[in-house]
């Protein structure tokens, strides 16, 4: 576990962080008591949360491998990447082609600190501390300008992060801003927490907004996620938009099946024409 005296300046360990909560659910070590307590409370409301987190991680691994192998993607921007864990995006992509390049983007300073230390010997990979909504800042940053060639296809990842964005910031517009900068043949990977139960959406969103002190958006519906693709002219690749454990499940050993479906991670991959 990261020691408090080693933390980057300004980190409040008393307020749960979505990135650190996710780290705890994945059995990581870079989280604190407030993060673990928030996870415990969340699991009381949605007991499937840990299984969902593990399945979401397995989806990320499968989709990156697919983009590298089948679509020839050699450069990735991972928006809202969270803390490093086993089999990160750069490791998967570089097993397909050692020249693959990755920029991880996250607003949590601990992600920048831990990720930067992990990647300091890899000049094809960088961690950028930035708000994923700040598309211009991200695209103008030194790591992106150094590692990403926008004349070539890019894998733009928004995996389990758009539920952190409020409706007022219009996630569909964020997807549009990024999509407009990508070359033909790029692929956008988008999934987020959804529920068809209004009660679950309201109760969980209120809990997370309260726990993270406003660093949360909303649990949405499948139709909301479908609009991210349809409204931005993305051509959805097989097997379509699905609960993520059903996205090409044979490509990677399955995570433990989700036992209940108070909510689910829903999405897929869309090709930029």
Residue 3 confidence (pLDDT): 46
CA distance linking residue 3 with residue 271, whole number of Å: 42
Residue 73 confidence (pLDDT): 98
- Per-residue model confidence as pLDDT tens digits over 214-244: 778 999 999 999 999 999 999 999 999 999 9
CA distance linking residue 219 with residue 200, whole number of Å: 8
Q: Could you tell me the end-to-end alpha-carbon distance of the chain, in angstroms, rounded to an integer?
A: 44
Domain limits, the chain: 47-198+217-271
Predicted confidence (pLDDT) at residue 143 exceeds the cutoff of 90: yes
- Stretch among 109-113, 120-124, 168-172, 239-243 having the lowest mean pLDDT: 109-113
Average pLDDT over residues 132-158: 97
Average pLDDT over residues 115-132: 82
- Stretch among 87-101, 165-179, 188-202, 254-268 having the lowest mean pLDDT: 254-268
Q: Which residues pair with 125 in a beta bridge?
A: 102
CA distance linking residue 189 with residue 186, whole number of Å: 10
Residue written as token pair 């931005």: 232
Spelled out in words, what is the top-level CATH class assigned to the domain 47-198+217-271? alpha beta
Q: How many residues does the chain have?
A: 273
CA dihedral sign, ordered 66, 59, 19, 175: positive
**DSSP one-letter string for 102-157:** EEEEES-HHHHHHHHHHTTT-TTEEEEE--TT-HHHHHHSHHHHHH--TTS--EEE
- From residue 15, alpha-carbon distances to 32, 42, 103 in Å are 9, 15, 27
- Give the mean pLDDT of the chain: 88
The three-class DSSP label of residue 34 is helix
Q: Please enumerate in sequence order all residues whose Cβ is within 8 A of that of 258, keeping only pairs 6 or more positions apart, or say none.
A: 48, 51, 52, 55, 243, 245, 264
Preceding peptide of 196 cis, ω within 30°: no
């Amino acid at each position: 576990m990261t020691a408090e005296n080693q933390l980057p300046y300004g980190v409040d360990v008393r307020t749960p962080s979505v990135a650190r909560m996710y780290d705890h659910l994945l059995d990581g070590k870079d989280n604190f008591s407030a993060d673990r307590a928030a996870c415990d409370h969340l699991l009381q409301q949605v007991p499937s949360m840990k299984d969902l987190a593990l399945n979401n991680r397995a989806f990320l691994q499968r989709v990156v491998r697919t983009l590298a192998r089948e679509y020839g993607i050699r450069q990735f921007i991972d928006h809202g990447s969270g803390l490093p864990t086993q089999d990160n995006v750069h490791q998967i992509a570089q097993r397909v082609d050692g020249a693959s390049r990755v920029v991880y983007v996250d607003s949590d300073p601990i992600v920048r600190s831990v990720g930067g230390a992990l990647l300091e010997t890899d000049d094809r990979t960088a961690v950028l501390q930035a708000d994923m909504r700040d598309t211009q800042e991200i695209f103008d940053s030194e790591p992106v300008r150094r590692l990403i060639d926008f004349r070539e296809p890019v894998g733009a990842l928004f995996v389990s992060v758009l539920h952190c964005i409020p409706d007022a910031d219009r996630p569909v517009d964020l997807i549009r801003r990024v999509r407009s900068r990508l070359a033909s043949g790029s692929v956008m990977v988008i999934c987020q927490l959804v529920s068809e139960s209004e009660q679950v959406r309201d109760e969980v969103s209120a809990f997370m907004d309260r726990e993270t002190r406003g660093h949360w958006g909303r649990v949405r519906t499948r139709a909301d996620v479908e609009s991210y693709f349809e409204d931005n002219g993305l051509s959805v690749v097989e097997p379509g938009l699905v609960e993520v454990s059903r996205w090409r499940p044979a490509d990677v050993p399955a995570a433990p099946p989700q036992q209940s479906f108070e909510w689910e991670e829903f999405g897929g991959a869309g090709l930029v024409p």
